[in-house]
Amino acid sequence: MRCVLVSTTLDMRAVFAPEIARLQGQIDFVDHPDFAAANDVQLALAWHPPADAFARYPNLKAVCSIAAGVDNILSCPSLRDNIDVVRVVEPAQAQMMSGFVIWHAIWHQRRFATYRAQQQNKIWQRLPQRTAQQVPVGILGHGAIGARVAADLAMLGFPVKVWSRSAKPPSPGITAFHGRDGLRAMLQDTEILVNLLPLTPETRGILNRDVFTAMRRGGYLIQVGRGEHLVEADLLAALDSGQLSGAALDVFLAEPLPKEHSFWSHPGIVLTPHDACDASLAAVGGTVLATAEALRAGMRPGNVVDRGTGY
Amino acid sequence: MRCVLVSTTLDMRAVFAPEIARLQGQIDFVDHPDFAAANDVQLALAWHPPADAFARYPNLKAVCSIAAGVDNILSCPSLRDNIDVVRVVEPAQAQMMSGFVIWHAIWHQRRFATYRAQQQNKIWQRLPQRTAQQVPVGILGHGAIGARVAADLAMLGFPVKVWSRSAKPPSPGITAFHGRDGLRAMLQDTEILVNLLPLTPETRGILNRDVFTAMRRGGYLIQVGRGEHLVEADLLAALDSGQLSGAALDVFLAEPLPKEHSFWSHPGIVLTPHDACDASLAAVGGTVLATAEALRAGMRPGNVVDRGTGY
């Protein structure tokens, strides 16, 4: 089976070299758009594809993403309705995300920003501490990753609330909310807000002034969804007013974040370069192979994105 | 029952004011040494007592510590053999310690020191990441706190090994070692070493060059035991040689850490002012009350320290 590599932001052949070598013989990887016989392409591995990318492949049946987020593929104008978009779902990825979120939650709970500043100034000053039980966490998004993050935070003693678009089956020790009304109820007394939502028209701009205002004063935002979820000016205003005491940002409207952006040097912001979690190379290769095998067998691939909800 | 408050480092009456008020009527708290009728004292609440403190109380039966570590009480020359030393054991304390250790383990695993430096210099650079499974953790000490830290780290995916002086019953998912030979075996390939040992003559200076050398190169020390466990010069040498890539230090030979100490500004050291975990005021008050009730009933108190092992 022929699989085309398509990206405007990554050198896919270099990034996935080990998996491409491993799958040789089973999958014929070609580079968009420089090859003959585009009709033979049934499968694509894509990340931020160019707008006209998929128009070139009349027999394309499935596009694999390299991550759990697929908004950059769904928004491609040349993606026809009859092409399945497949996302990578990997337990190790949920675990990576969970460790990252936990680190930021404890950074806030245990006042490590103050400790770091004290060390720089050689100040020995013990700080009043709170238990995890005193710091309620609200999680936006209740998919595979959200469920893992929620379970781990609950195990560490944080009161955990989870919000999703539609109702989900309950999990032990987790309070679940859903829908517009549920969001307001979930935010009530939430001190740490974790954004794990997929980017869809409904969730764009969801991290805004209304949401920050509904949280507990002095709250903390952990933003590991997509840059477009956040209204940047509203975050800066919430930090300036003290409604939020800090924010961890891993994703941004513009990536790489421009040097002149005020986030870089804001004292309340801890930023990372979209590194909270990656699917492993092996998981991406495994997804491509499973998708190819499904297509060969005339079956629908697994982990196909619902075009209605966008995830 | 009369309980004397004894400390050279803390204003016990101020620190424990809420619990002292709560227990009024059941326990008569007096301040060492300024009161009459020292013969009436059967109970003490102590922290770093002066050398001659207990000589004043001929009928003293039990000394409650304010924390899990009791070395500062056991080393008091006026502590007679027939006085029971009681330590505070509290699940919330193990949880506080666990969150603190987890934060440092993820700081090392996920390379947050580099991210922090990159943010300061406005550098957008993704960093190769490892899963928790790739970062083995060794824990020195397998009491109530060690067991909780081990279980939590294992749940987050870290391979966990635990070492204790004597053999303990096995825990699921944890590899247990004990004794001198077991220490060497446990350190083999350990990348993060967590010290949770009590301070005893056997454990003094245990964090030394031999131990650091036996670990995986580029390892990381999380030192939350007692300052006397660490040979400071050996740590600095291990950091300078690259055998260790960093260290989290919460306890020190001299506390407060003197301003001129090189730890303050060492780039590989994250230090905190002996704040990893405190017993809660309520737990200390509860321990005093339970000890008083046992004495009144003519019974031996719970959580008495074994003078042979020192914990």
List, for residues B178-221, the tens digit of each pLDDT value: 999 999 999 999 999 999 999 999 999 999 999 999 999 999 99
> Does the beta-carbon distance from A157 to B127 stay under 8 Å?
no
Q: Nearest CB to B156: which of A127, A152, A272?
A: A152
> Does the beta-carbon distance from B99 to A156 stay under 8 Å?
yes
Q: Where is pLDDT greater, at B279 or A64?
A: A64
For range B154-176, the mean pLDDT: 92
Active site residues per annotation of A: 226, 274
CB B249 within 8 A of CB B225: no
The highest-level CATH class for domain B2-90+279-296 is alpha beta
**Residues sharing a CB contact under 8 Å with residue B227, sequence separation 6 or more, in sequence order:** B251, B252, B253, B254, B255
Tell whether the model's pLDDT for residue B280 goes beyond 90: no
For residue A53, count other CB atoms closer than 10 A to its CB.
24
> Does the beta-carbon distance from B110 to A126 stay under 8 Å?
no
pLDDT band of A281, cuts 50, 70, 90: confident
Report pLDDT for B221: 98
Tell whether the model's pLDDT for residue B40 goes beyond 90: yes
B73-127 pLDDT tens trace: 999 999 999 999 999 888 888 999 999 999 999 999 999 999 999 999 999 999 9
- DSSP line for B161-194: EEEESS-----TTEEEEEHHHHHHHHHTT--EEE
With H, G, I as helix, E, B as strand and everything else as coil, classify residue A212: helix
Tell whether the model's pLDDT for residue B238 goes beyond 90: yes
> Does the beta-carbon distance from B103 to A118 stay under 8 Å?
no
pLDDT band of B267, cuts 50, 70, 90: very high
Which phi and psi angles does A257 have, rounded to 5°?
-65, 125
Burial A264-299 (b: 16+ CB within 10 A, else e): bebebbbbbbbbbbbbbbebbbbbbbebbebbeeee
Report pLDDT for A130: 93
Closest CA to A283 of A49, A107, A88, A62: A88
Closest CA to B64 of B2, B5, B1: B5
Tell whether the model's pLDDT for residue A27 goes beyond 90: yes
CB A126 within 8 A of CB A139: no
pLDDT band of A282, cuts 50, 70, 90: confident
Which one of A97, A112, A265 makes the best mutation probe of the B interface by having the most chain B beta carbons within 10 Å?
Answer: A112
CB A311 within 8 A of CB A199: no
**Percent share of chain A, pLDDT over 70:** 100
Closest CA to A163 of A96, A213, A215, A201: A215
Report pLDDT for A23: 96
Domain map (residue ranges) of chain B? 2-90+279-296, 92-271
Give the relative orientation of helices A91-109 and A144-155 as an angle to the nearest 10 degrees: 40
Tell whether the model's pLDDT for residue A68 goes beyond 90: no
CB A139 within 8 A of CB A160: yes
Report pLDDT for B260: 97
Query: Is the Cβ of B256 closer than 8 Å to some Cβ of chain A?
Result: yes
Q: What is the dihedral of CA A217, A222, A225, A230, to 10 degrees?
A: 40
> Does the beta-carbon distance from A272 to B124 stay under 8 Å?
no
CA-based nearest residue in chain A for residue B15: A128
Residue B178 appears among annotated catalytic residues: no
Query: Is the Cβ of B48 closer than 8 Å to some Cβ of chain A?
Result: no
| Distance to chain B for A300, nearest Cα, Å | 31
Closest CA to A288 of A12, A53, A62: A62
Q: Nearest CB to A275: which of B103, B129, B256?
A: B129
A82-109 pLDDT tens trace: 999 999 888 888 999 999 999 999 999 9
Give the relative orientation of helices A91-109 and A112-120 as an angle to the nearest 10 degrees: 60
| Averaged confidence pLDDT in chain A | 95
> Does the beta-carbon distance from A270 to B156 stay under 8 Å?
no
CA angle B288, B100, B211 (to 5 degrees): 100
**Percent share of chain B, pLDDT over 70:** 100
For range A9-17, the mean pLDDT: 94
Q: Nearest CB to A278: which of B116, B129, B277?
A: B129
Please state, in angstroms and rounded to a whole number, the distance separating the CA atoms of residues A211 and A237.
Answer: 13
Which one of B114, B124, B126 makes the best mutation probe of the A interface by having the most chain A beta carbons within 10 Å?
Answer: B124
Query: Is the Cβ of A163 closer than 8 Å to some Cβ of chain B?
Result: no
Report pLDDT for B76: 96
Q: Could you say which residues from 107 to 146 on chain A have a Cβ atom under 8 Å away from some Cβ of chain B?
A: 107, 109-110, 112, 115-116, 118-119, 122, 124-127, 129, 131-133
CA-based nearest residue in chain A for residue B275: A126
Report pLDDT for B276: 96
Tell whether the model's pLDDT for residue A37 goes beyond 90: no
For range A157-169, the mean pLDDT: 94
Q: Does an H or E element contain B221, and which?
A: strand B219-223
pLDDT band of B311, cuts 50, 70, 90: confident
Task: Give residue B38's identity as a one-letter amino acid code.
Answer: A
Q: Nearest CB to B275: which of A92, A127, A275?
A: A127
Tell whether the model's pLDDT for residue B173 goes beyond 90: no
For residue A23, count other CB atoms closer than 10 A to its CB.
19
A-chain CB neighbours of B98 within 8 Å are 156
Closest CA to B53 of B83, B26, B23: B83
Report pLDDT for B169: 83
A-chain CB neighbours of B264 within 8 Å are 119, 122
For residue B265, count other CB atoms closer than 10 A to its CB.
10
Tell whether the model's pLDDT for residue A42 goes beyond 90: yes
Report pLDDT for A295: 96
Fold matches, A2-90+279-296 and A92-271: yes
Helices H, strands E: what count in chain B? 10, 12
> Does the beta-carbon distance from A275 to B100 stay under 8 Å?
no
Q: What is the dihedral of CA B121, B124, B126, B127, to 10 degrees?
A: -10
CB A123 within 8 A of CB B272: no
**Residues sharing a CB contact under 8 Å with residue B238, sequence separation 6 or more, in sequence order:** B209, B212, B213, B244
> Does the beta-carbon distance from A106 to B99 stay under 8 Å?
yes
Q: Nearest CB to A259: which of B122, B125, B273?
A: B122
Report pLDDT for A175: 95
A175-226 pLDDT tens trace: 999 999 999 999 999 999 999 999 999 999 999 999 999 999 999 999 999 9
Please state, in angstroms and rounded to a whole number, the distance separating the CA atoms of residues A145 and B195.
Answer: 32
CA-based nearest residue in chain A for residue B110: A100
Burial A130-157 (b: 16+ CB within 10 A, else e): ebbeebbbbbbbbbbbbbbbbbbbbbbb
Report pLDDT for A92: 86
Report pLDDT for B68: 85
Q: Could you say which residues from 69 to 108 on chain A have a Cβ atom under 8 Å away from some Cβ of chain B?
A: 92, 95-96, 98-100, 102-103, 106-107
Global pTM?
0.88
Domain A92-271, architecture per CATH: 3-Layer(aba) Sandwich (3.40)
For residue B217, count other CB atoms closer than 10 A to its CB.
12
Q: How many CB pairs under 8 A join A and B?
A: 110
| Averaged confidence pLDDT in chain B | 95
